[in-house]
A and B are shown apart, each in its own frame.
Chain A
Amino acid sequence: DVKVTQSSRYLVKRTGEKVFLECVQDMDHENMFWYRQDPGLGLRLIYFSYDVKMKEKGDIPEGYSVSREKKERFSLILESASTNQTSMYLCASSPPDQPQHFGDGTRLSIL
């Protein structure tokens, strides 16, 4: 079974902090994705990566950056956290042209 592991289930940070969300997949997938999930808005794509050291902006990249130094790990970075970034963050991975497998999410609260 594919396993996508997000480092924290719950995280509380303060406004202005630099926040790192980590995601690791164990199936050697090329593609990795970061989404945020908000009620009534569905899943919105923040960034994705098709290969190591490659990244592409999604629909809502403002205020976020990503890092993919190794194939199995994809990090989401909030450079200076703000309250409107309080959300559920979901990581996913997939082989090319195959369904995405999701982690169980990190619920992030920015105070």
Chain B
Amino acid sequence: DTAVSQTPKYLVTQMGNDKSIKCEQNLGHDTMYWYKQDSKKFLKIMFSYNNKELIINETVPNRFSPKSPDKAHLNLHINSLELGDSAVYFCASSRTFLGRESSYEQYFGPGTRLTVT
């Protein structure tokens, strides 16, 4: 069973288009994340949701809009795609932070490689 899954795995599209990436986790976690990994492998958090509520929104263009229909799903919609959006987008999940007792380990999806031409 895949713990964190993403679709599609590859996405090739033209500038100006709108696209969505979907993420689902079956780990029972209530916090989910989107990360962007650029061509230099640098990994940067974009958004985080906890129980369908947005809790982290880094400095990301408002062309990017996350949506969480329930705590097992977190989708990412991107409007008016630009060349600079080309990257690998990773979804991840973890338990909610409740205190010092736990590791709060993150589990990552397989990634979606987005190429904008």
User: Are A and B associated in one complex?
Assistant: no
Question: Which residues in B have some Cβ–Cβ distance to A below 8 Å?
Answer: none
